[in-house]
Amino acid sequence: MAEQELRSTALEAVHESLGATFTDFAGWRMPVRYDSDLAEHKAVRQSAGLFDLSHMGEIHLRGPEAAAALDHALAGKMSAMSVGRAKYSLLLTEDGGVIDDVITYRFSEDHFLVVANASNAEVDAAELLARAEGFDVEVDDASSRTSLIAVQGPQSEQILLDTLLGADSGVEGLTAEDLTEMKNYRFAEGTYRGESLLIARTGYTGEDGFELYLPNEYAPALWEQLTAVGGDRVTPCGLACRDTLRLEAGMPLYGNELGRDLYPAQSGMGRVVALKSKEDFVGRKGIEAADLSGRPVLVGLVAEGRRAARADAQVRDGDGREVGAISSGALSPTLGHPIAMAFVSADVAEVGTELVVDVRGKDLPVRVVEMPFYRRD
């Protein structure tokens, strides 16, 4: 796709003014870094990072049967979720493969928001619309008019308190307690300059953090306020460090650890599928009929040194037998050694198993470990 055809977020001019390096991500022109991947990664772990995630999809479902429609459409039981909470779930194919992993927020008894990955946003919206047929619900794809700004890191709560509750912040309807008492996968609503503002304690970095949803036209002003008030405590961050952060936290990436050709159980996501707590839903029959014997499973791998295995690198056992492939890998900025996720044969998936990865033609000894690789204190 030519650069002029790439979609831009409402914050593009801000990123350009900050000297960002851009990349094509799922058809969007997105900042991959501003300065140093390592410095941005470190900022999130030690203080706070500021991310533009406006390429994600936002799909609202409103109506008296919104909960029932989502119970049918998704693998989780959305009807059991309380108002003010968020829930991670999967959108499955009829055969039980994964179309996407999503987060769903419940605003009221009859209003939900489903947030989709950028690469699947249009597909997810079309699937949800099709699966809502026959239910009394309206599906509204608000992706093109919604911006998403994430503040992630141990200083994120204080930065938001200072920014959103300060004089002339433009924010109304939110209190300090709304933020300080907000637990993970909870959210609060307010307004920013008279328009809706959703603040959720969610993220994709393994750190404490928040994600803020608001109309496109107000995103630059909010970004500038967060930057000005945050000062040295907050660093603009691109997609490169977001990937190493999520890898350290053992979080799957669609297209790497999740996909239409993978069952949830292979990716360690079997618990997300509500086989016991609800009746029929799209993908249930496929999951129940699936034969997982002989199928690879996801594991974490660690190594010594500085050479990191990358996606698709071959994994072998001690006898030289090919037993799998790397799905994601990097030299961990926080831990200082190589880490990776890989799909391997079930017979070599036990924690402590010694394996070998082919890194550009050279053998790299690795060991199976529990995930996540990094967990905040």
pLDDT in tens, the chain (377 residues): 444 589 999 999 999 999 999 999 999 999 999 999 999 999 999 999 999 999 999 999 999 999 999 999 999 999 999 999 999 999 999 999 999 999 999 999 999 999 999 999 999 999 999 999 999 999 999 999 999 999 999 999 999 999 999 889 999 999 999 999 999 999 999 999 999 999 999 999 999 999 999 999 999 999 999 999 999 999 999 999 999 999 999 999 999 999 999 999 999 999 999 999 998 999 999 999 999 999 999 999 999 999 999 999 999 999 999 999 999 999 999 999 999 999 999 999 999 999 999 999 999 999 999 999 999 98
For strands 209-215 and 235-236, give the pairing. unpaired
Are 162 and 33 within one domain?
Answer: yes
Are 311 and 233 within one domain?
Answer: no
Q: Is residue 288 part of a domain?
A: no
Q: Is residue 315 part of a domain?
A: yes
Q: Taking each helix axis from N to C terminus, what angle separates 239-248 and 37-46, rounded to the nearest 10 degrees?
A: 50
- Residue 167's pLDDT is 86
Count of CB atoms situated within 10 Å of the CB of 361: 5
Q: Which residues 6+ apart lie within 8 Å of 301 measured at CB?
A: 309, 315, 326, 329, 339, 340, 341, 342, 355, 357, 366, 367, 368, 369
Q: Which residues 6+ apart lie within 8 Å of 299 measured at CB?
A: 341, 342, 343, 344, 349, 368, 369, 371
Are 159 and 225 within one domain?
Answer: yes
Sign of CA dihedral 244, 262, 6, 195: negative
Are 164 and 17 within one domain?
Answer: yes
Are 239 and 179 within one domain?
Answer: yes
Are 51 and 163 within one domain?
Answer: yes
Q: Is residue 33 part of a domain?
A: yes
Q: Is residue 112 part of a domain?
A: no
- Rounded distance, CA 70 to CA 62, Å? 11
Are 243 and 297 within one domain?
Answer: no
CATH number of the structural domain spanning residue 195: 3.30.1360.120
Are 186 and 45 within one domain?
Answer: yes
Are 356 and 228 within one domain?
Answer: no
CATH number of the structural domain spanning residue 316: 2.40.30.110
Domain boundary among 193, 227, 247: 247
Q: Is residue 198 part of a domain?
A: yes
Domain boundary among 247, 264, 280: 247
Are 361 and 221 within one domain?
Answer: no
Total domains present in the chain: 2
Q: Is residue 88 part of a domain?
A: no
Q: Is residue 335 part of a domain?
A: yes
Burial class (CB in 10 A: 0-12, 13-18, 19+), 66: buried
For residue 343, give the amino acid letter. F
Q: Residue 367: beta bridge partners? A: 302, 354
SS3 337: coil
Measured CA angle at 290 (ends 286, 296), to 5 deg: 125
Provide the CA 92 distance to its chain's centre, in angstroms.
Answer: 17
Q: Is residue 217 part of a domain?
A: yes
pTM: 0.96
- Residue 3's pLDDT is 46
Are 199 and 348 within one domain?
Answer: no
Domain boundary among 247, 281, 309: 247
Q: Domain range holding 303?
A: 293-370
